[in-house]
Amino acid sequence: MLTAQAGLTTADVAERIAAGQVNDVPVRSGRTVPEIVRANLFTRINAIMGVLFGVILAVGPIQDALFGGVIIANTVIGVVQELRAKRTLDRLAIVGAARPVVRRDGRAVEMAAADIVRDDLIELGPGDQIVVDGVVATADQLEVDESLLTGEADPVLKRAGDPLLSGSFVTAGTGVFTATRVGRQAYAARLAEEASRFTLVNSQLRTGLNTILRFVTWLIIPTGIGLIVGQYLVNSDDLPEALRRMVAGLVPMVPEGLVLLTSVAFAVGVIRLGRRRCLVQELPAIEGLARVDVVCLDKTGTLTDAEMRVAEMRHLGPAAAEAGPDTVEATGAGAADAPVAAVLGLLGAADERPNASLRAVVEAYPAPEGWTIGARTAFSSARKWGGAVLTDPDGRRAEWRLGAPDVLLPAGHPVLAEADTYGERGLRVLLLARMAPAASHGGVAGVEPVGLVVLAQRVRPEAAATLRYFAEQGVAVKVLSGDSAVSVGAVAGGLGLPGAEQPVDARELPSEPAALGDLVERHTVFGRVGPQQKRDMVAALRARGHTVAMTGDGVNDVLALKDADIGVAMGSGSPASRAVAQIVLLDNSFAALPAVVAEGRRVIGNIERVANLFLTKTVYSVLLAMAVVLSGLPYPFLPRHLTIISSLTIGIPAFFLALAPNTEQARTGFVGRVLRFAVPAGVVAMAATVASYLFARGVYAGDLAAETSAATLTLFLVGLWAVAIIARPYTWWRLLLVLALAAAFAVVLVVPFLQDFFQVSLVGTTAPTVAVGLALAAGLLLELVRRFSPARPDSPSR
């Protein structure tokens, strides 16, 4: 039975669950297991390789079908890594998910959003996300921001009977609402489900790779037709041999491991960040944060701990005479400061969901008995004050306000100078003021300052090191805070942030976007920033071509978090801030941000490195096929030869390099930079290989195995040289990797079984010597390509 006070009973809930009236929208951090298997198995590359694999199985021998293992490897590794990433994200998503407070059986309990049923009574407070549609049952100064749904920036005051839409969030006040539409019937359910999904798409890196793959796919079609016709004519008496040579020409054109390594690198990044308690709600956020060049921070909860304590209570004006000492340390509600202490305690008690500042006041000054709380104005980030009408035990009634001194008092008021002296020490200051009757001020209501509440916050120990990291990486930091500019500047200056000595009061910022962008770009620290201003400042920076990350934990950060390129929320922050952010720091540690940036840079930088290897192979394979078609020669390789070359000069080194540390700053233009190295490098490799093959044909006069072996030696050495370039700057393991690859090929050349299996046998010394000489010449040309390439593939990490 439903009552306005108690909510549903257990029997009511069971009845609604049986009727399917439950909020069953799955909040997923990834694709389902069948979706993961299908996505990794049924790919364009697997389709191409599968057809070629089938051809070789039909004509044999099995050695030439070894490349088919790539299909299995691509599928298995991709599935395993994504499943690992999914498990990590699912586990973290449970921790980071919103847990509304629901009234059931007369008790208020936190529960998962998916457990809400129709007619549930759900409590609301500042920062709460509205997870289902409903109707307001009771409201106390309840203000709801619906801008994420409607685009309307101003919060809407809600009263009993007003509708609420899922996807909006509470900015001020408290209330209770009745769930009317749950599950997929809710207004924003479909959008919320899509927004919270773990995805492998929509990133600059993957878009570039898909562009390359589409181009390669279309290039393979005419080249493949030419190879089929050419090899059939050349080997008209041996159709199986013609098919083998045709397949050998087509297989290396496909950058089969590039997509796999990209998925693996992203998945490993998710797992690594998961160990640091970072929930990546959208996978491209790893890449996006690596491209960030401006980070906007909130002071409270980021540079300083969210929790505060009352350090001092400074009495002002006539009320101070009643209170006794001029200054009273905050050790509780003593007799000397009873009137002020009582008011502070009552203002704290008047707010059902006090923020961090009010919680500190409540701890220092408990609410006394005998007072009556009348009309209330809930605190909001936009107003920067809250208040209530209080009546003391003697029946005296007055309106009191507690908030920012420079908002409650006019400019130039002497109390503001005193407040600034505290702000210069990095302390937060609240003004307690009594609203004087209009009659005492000539018909205009006045503000009588009564006291300054001085709050202290602990600076996070990791904040200075994190700011230094961003400075070293060329990432600009902007502090956007609702506190006074003087206080924010003092905290930021103490942490060594450049530009903190010139804090800007956001109330003086221009509204015109161009002027706002100029000022935000020039300055570092901003105080008294409202929620909409944070959003406007992020938009102004993005309009100037910056990639902006926004960090925050409060309801006042939600709009900016949503509009930034990357939103980063604290795990202890409001449910609304966590819901719109791409990354959630579950341990609330600002120090985790460098790890996220470094992970993104590792992924992007390493994929760009290995893409040079894969596309160099694609270029020389296409050109070699064209040369063979035009010259009417047999293709110089069998599939088994290219399997060993690709494994030792592409697949194995690329796997290690893709997961190596890399702090190079991400840049746009991925495809262009890769092609500027891969195309000339591919031309050099093709020319050296064709020259070696033609020379060997003159030496061996028809011994196709010997001719192929000489060409294989040249192509391997050129490919190994390319690996040596890509692997720079060298570390001990990179040098060991290059030497191990060379040693592995040497083993194939000297072990009889492997010689027969791969059909590689160097005959005599003339052709092999020339093959090595041509490879050395090609290597020197690769060095020139590297030196004069606009984007060197081995550029050292910055």
* Residue 323 within a domain: yes
* Residue 86 within a domain: no
What pLDDT score was predicted for residue 70? 67
Residue that wins the pLDDT comparison between 440 and 12: 12
* Residue 731 within a domain: yes
Q: pLDDT digit string (tens) for 488-503?
A: 888 888 888 888 888 8
Least confident range of 247-261, 518-532, 775-789: 247-261
What pLDDT score was predicted for residue 735? 94
Residue that wins the pLDDT comparison between 448 and 442: 448
pLDDT of 337 > 50? The answer is no
Dihedral sign for Cα 762, 766, 768, 769, please: positive
Residues 178 and 243 in one domain: no
Least confident range of 312-321, 391-400, 406-415: 312-321
* Residue 435 within a domain: yes
* Residue 232 near residue 635, CB atoms below 8 Å: no
- pLDDT-derived band at 687 (thresholds 50, 70, 90) equals very high
Quote the number of domains for the chain: 4
- Alpha-carbon span 236 to 249, nearest angstrom: 17
* Residue 468 near residue 403, CB atoms below 8 Å: no
Q: What is the mean pLDDT of the chain?
A: 80
* Residue 217 within a domain: yes
> In sequence order, what E strands does 579-737 have?
583-585
**Does this model's pTM top 0.85?**
no
What value does the mean pLDDT take over residues 587-593?
78
User: Could you tell me which of 540, 574, 572 has the C-alpha nearest to residue 557?
Assistant: 574
Least confident range of 193-197, 286-290, 686-690: 193-197
CATH of the domain at 124: 2.70.150.10
- pLDDT-derived band at 724 (thresholds 50, 70, 90) equals very high
pLDDT of 428 > 70? The answer is yes
pLDDT of 335 > 50? The answer is no
Q: pLDDT digit string (tens) for 750-768?
A: 898 888 888 888 888 899 9
Residues 774 and 642 in one domain: yes
Strand order in 385-391's β-sheet? Answer: 327-328, 304-315, 446-459, 428-436, 397-403, 385-391, 372-377
Q: pLDDT digit string (tens) for 54-100?
A: 887 877 777 777 777 767 776 787 777 777 777 776 666 655 566 88
Residues 472 and 563 in one domain: yes
Residues 694 and 581 in one domain: no
pLDDT of 322 > 60? The answer is no
In angstroms, the first-to-last Cα distance of the chain is 65
pLDDT of 686 > 60? The answer is yes
What pLDDT score was predicted for residue 149? 65
- pLDDT-derived band at 445 (thresholds 50, 70, 90) equals low
Least confident range of 180-184, 402-406, 492-496, 644-648: 180-184
Least confident range of 39-53, 79-93, 501-515, 715-729: 79-93
What pLDDT score was predicted for residue 782? 92
What pLDDT score was predicted for residue 575? 75
- 65, two tokens: 């079908």
What pLDDT score was predicted for residue 777? 94
Dihedral sign for Cα 556, 560, 563, 564, please: negative
- Alpha-carbon span 547 to 564, nearest angstrom: 8
* Residue 404 near residue 381, CB atoms below 8 Å: no
* Residue 545 within a domain: yes
Residues 292 and 250 in one domain: no
What pLDDT score was predicted for residue 794? 60
CA distances to 72, 428, 544 from 204, in Å: 27, 42, 19
* Residue 72 within a domain: no
* Residue 730 within a domain: yes
- pLDDT-derived band at 187 (thresholds 50, 70, 90) equals low
Least confident range of 562-566, 587-591, 679-683: 587-591
CATH of the domain at 230: 1.20.1110.10
Residues 389 and 491 in one domain: no
Residues in Cβ contact with 253 at an 8 Å cutoff, skipping those fewer than 6 apart: 216, 219, 220, 223, 618, 621, 622, 625
Range of 42-51, 257-266, 323-332, 513-522 with top mean pLDDT? 513-522
Q: Alpha helices of 751-765 — where are they, by DSSP H? A: 752-758
Residues 635 and 754 in one domain: yes
Residues 620 and 689 in one domain: yes
Residues 181 and 227 in one domain: no
What value does the mean pLDDT take over residues 450-472?
87
Least confident range of 35-49, 388-402, 503-517, 615-629: 35-49
298 is catalytic: yes
Check 128, 298, 483, 565 and give the catalytic one: 298
Residue that wins the pLDDT comparison between 261 and 620: 620
pLDDT of 602 > 90? The answer is no
Residues 775 and 735 in one domain: yes
Residues in Cβ contact with 282 at an 8 Å cutoff, skipping those fewer than 6 apart: 195, 197, 198, 199, 582
Q: pLDDT digit string (tens) for 97-133?
A: 668 889 988 888 888 888 888 889 999 888 788 888 8
Q: pLDDT digit string (tens) for 170-179?
A: 888 888 999 8
CATH of the domain at 484: 3.40.50.1000
What value does the mean pLDDT take over residues 44-52?
76
Q: pLDDT digit string (tens) for 339-374?
A: 888 888 888 888 777 777 888 888 888 888 888 888
Residues 212 and 320 in one domain: no
What pLDDT score was predicted for residue 769? 93
Residues 15 and 141 in one domain: yes
Domain boundary among 195, 222, 246: 195
Domain boundary among 166, 195, 224: 195
pLDDT of 790 > 60? The answer is no
pLDDT of 582 > 90? The answer is no
- pLDDT-derived band at 711 (thresholds 50, 70, 90) equals very high
Nearest 5°: the CA angle 731, 736, 740 is 155
Dihedral sign for Cα 239, 241, 245, 251, please: positive
* 3-state secondary structure (DSSP) of residue 277: coil
Structural domain span for residue 509:
279-303+460-588
What value does the mean pLDDT take over residues 462-466?
86
pLDDT of 258 > 70? The answer is yes
What value does the mean pLDDT take over residues 291-306?
83
Domain boundary among 157, 174, 195: 195
Compute φ and ψ for 479, nearest 5 degrees.
-100, 115
pLDDT of 772 > 90? The answer is yes
- Alpha-carbon span 656 to 734, nearest angstrom: 9
pLDDT of 326 > 70? The answer is no
pLDDT of 36 > 90? The answer is no
What value does the mean pLDDT take over residues 553-566?
81
DSSP letters along 279-340, please? EESSTHHHHHHHT--EEEE-TBTTTEEEEEEEEEEEE-HHHHHHH-SSEE--SS--STTHHH
* Residue 664 near residue 605, CB atoms below 8 Å: yes
- Alpha-carbon span 21 to 181, nearest angstrom: 8
Task: Give percent of the chain above pLDDT 90.
Answer: 11
- Alpha-carbon span 512 to 373, nearest angstrom: 42
- Alpha-carbon span 750 to 768, nearest angstrom: 14
pLDDT of 203 > 70? The answer is no
pLDDT of 229 > 70? The answer is yes
pLDDT of 334 > 50? The answer is no
